[in-house]
Amino acid sequence: MAPKSKTGKSKGKERAEPTTEAVVPFGKQLAHTDKSVRDQAVRNLTAFLSAGGDGDEGEGGYTRLEDKEMAKLWKGLFYCFWMSDKPLVQQALASELADLLLRINPRTSGDRAAARLDASLAFLEGFWTALVREWNGIDRLRIDKYYMLIRRYVNASFRLAARAGWSSSAVNGTNAILGGEHGPMSWQDKSVPMSLASHLGDVYLQELDKVLADSDGAAPLVEILRPHIVLVARTRNGTLHRRLIEGVFTPLLAALKDGDEFENIAAKSTVDGEEVDAAGLRAALLRALFEEASQESTIESNRRKLYALVRQEEDDEDDE
């Protein structure tokens, strides 16, 4: 007779630990009501995304998904996170989902680093496309955990760029996703929820500073902030314009002048490929804002405000 467990059930009948398989899980597994099923689905996905190895073309392993398949996958992942209900579970899952961005290892016979970056950017685009699509359906009880997920993905995006040496491919690729026609920082698509760009403005500098603290390389600051620079000039929403000024540009300009905050950004940033001091960074950022304000596509009211901001900041520096 099989021995009994403490619950009185036969040990021989206890459910065996499921085996992790390198496969794309079905959406119904990712969004299952049973946490153990969701957890196993995420483990299977992690194994699948990292299964490329160094095999030759034609061998088993992950390859970049088509847009339709990526959309299905991210719909499942969105609702996988939706189903997480306890703070510690949510935090752990947010970190696990964000880290997928750096676990991706596609099958390729060419440049592995380039293939990894390309596949990771495609996965990042899938994330933001899903967020934009599903955002208005998130209720007030769940919104904070999705803000946390965004913060984790911003951090992971910077770690991805740092791994790529802050290359133009990594930085411009991320910017194209964020500031694309239907991206979270789009100035063209009025259906994109404004709160996405606002929250990005709230967390961007903090997460960049954290990643630079652990990064050996220096980051092209102005180019990293390009989506914010373009949006603050072209948005027709006065509230969003103000949030970006107050959440990104004013505190950064102040920090670069006084050195009270964002010390890693000040110490590990470049302008035109050259490392410069905080004063040089500040001048480059003001120059970028002025140049964007002068563009024909800039909204006239934003143009006046940006010119006034640049003039005020330059006057404050001259007075010292």
Tell whether the model's pLDDT for residue 13 goes beyond 70. no
Please tell me whether residues 135 and 211 are part of one structural domain: no
At 303-318, the pLDDT tens digits run 999 999 999 999 877 6
Average pLDDT value for residue range 209-238: 97
CA distances from 155 to 34, 67, 133, 215 (A): 29, 24, 22, 12
Please tell me whether residues 81 and 131 are part of one structural domain: yes
Please tell me whether residues 93 and 210 are part of one structural domain: no
**DSSP for residue 248:** I
Please tell me whether residues 86 and 188 are part of one structural domain: no
Average pLDDT value for residue range 155-166: 98
At 56-96, the pLDDT tens digits run 443 446 777 888 999 999 999 999 999 998 999 999 999 99
Q: Work out the angle at residue 57's Cα, subtended by the Cα atoms of residues 51 and 61, and round it to the nearest 5 degrees.
A: 15
Which of 92, 110, 140 terminates a domain? The answer is: 140
Task: Work out how many domains the chain is built from and give that number.
Answer: 2
Q: Work out the angle at residue 93's Cα, subtended by the Cα atoms of residues 89 and 94, and round it to the nearest 5 degrees.
A: 115
Which of 88, 117, 140 terminates a domain? The answer is: 140
Please tell me whether residues 87 and 183 are part of one structural domain: no
Please tell me whether residues 203 and 282 are part of one structural domain: yes
DSSP string, 47-103: HHHT--TTPPTTSSS--PPPHHHHHHHHHHHHHHHHH--SHHHHHHHHHHHHHHHHH
Which structural domain, as residue segments, surrounds residue 72?
Answer: 24-140
Please tell me whether residues 252 and 310 are part of one structural domain: yes
